Structure 1
């Protein structure tokens, strides 16, 4: 299968790329950087949504995966890119696998989750798609832990999260890519943990020190008006019982794996 992989040089994308190549698929990866990705073909782009749509028309892949997303900055990419893709894919039968976020909701007070939900709406125009909503993803390259390590402090957040291992997520995405029809699924790991404890556990495993400091929620909400990623950290990230895939990998295994990228 010829796959156009958007976001293939990122954290999740690098694991999915290895999974796709391991299954014998041909991967084409648009990128704004001059990188070599082994057996994958790279295509230089500037990152405009319409540019990805033109690539679909030019390359005619069997399937497209969209992993492009931002935690800060211009959230419109979350709906402009799937919107542009859907317009050129509609009516072709081509499959689109779109990675959204657990908690995507058009009525959310948090712009990140609203924009993710608007992206899902664009994808639903198609007949052959999969929408995957992962919880917090663990693995080497997860930026949350590098940021905490940079500051050496992290709020002692009690926000419950149900993290999923990037290796499990990559396998699921590849499975979804090889499927057909309309699929929507939430993805989590087996264990629920407070976010502050998770951050400390990963950094402890890496032999790094971080101080958990208690901060009143209202202070974080005020700060969240300047940086909405703080509001996301106050939002519970737990898979509902319906339409969810729960992986049974032990959380400690994922913590150890994530810490490898911090040593």
Structure 2
């Protein structure tokens, strides 16, 4: 849950995530459509935490999780609930912002959530003590990197890569967005796809809202498999 980009389009958006995880963590379950009774939700599932790091629902709301808030911190041995379950609670509501404003977060590890729809773009950070909520311009693209893996220098470099790429691709297609998330960067240590001693990029996921439809494209880098699902908004 470590590199995320948001790109607005003429009729929707792309929300894309590179998931960087410990090599000892179980492989995720590929994306599936789940029905909560009021609307459907599409997401891959984390078999360890039982939640997810990225999801989109048929109300046109998408959310993605990054580890950490602003700075690197020392992780505790125990937390009350997985951050992936927080995302699940948020994506199961009609108003994620209201849910986050009242949700009890004490005992949950610091995280950042990016939540978007056609009309809004929200950056929510929980630093372990306080909530920090920003309403961003949904007409402006953005990129975020996990505070637990990337220092300020790495974050700035990624922002520069993104800006240069945007100049070359002002109206990108989904394949071009996925290409950026696969190939941007300078080396395996600093690129968007990483392979370090204990951590590596295990998947790239692109959520899209376009033409009154939602879709997910999930590239499982561990199994070298791509999954794609499309659903109609309602």
Indicate whether the TM-score tops 0.5: no
- Give 1 or 2 for the bigger CA radius of gyration: 1
State the TM-score, normalized to the length of structure 2: 0.32
Q: Which has the higher strand share?
A: 2
Higher relative contact order (CA 8 A, sep 6+): 2
Q: Which has the higher helix share?
A: 1
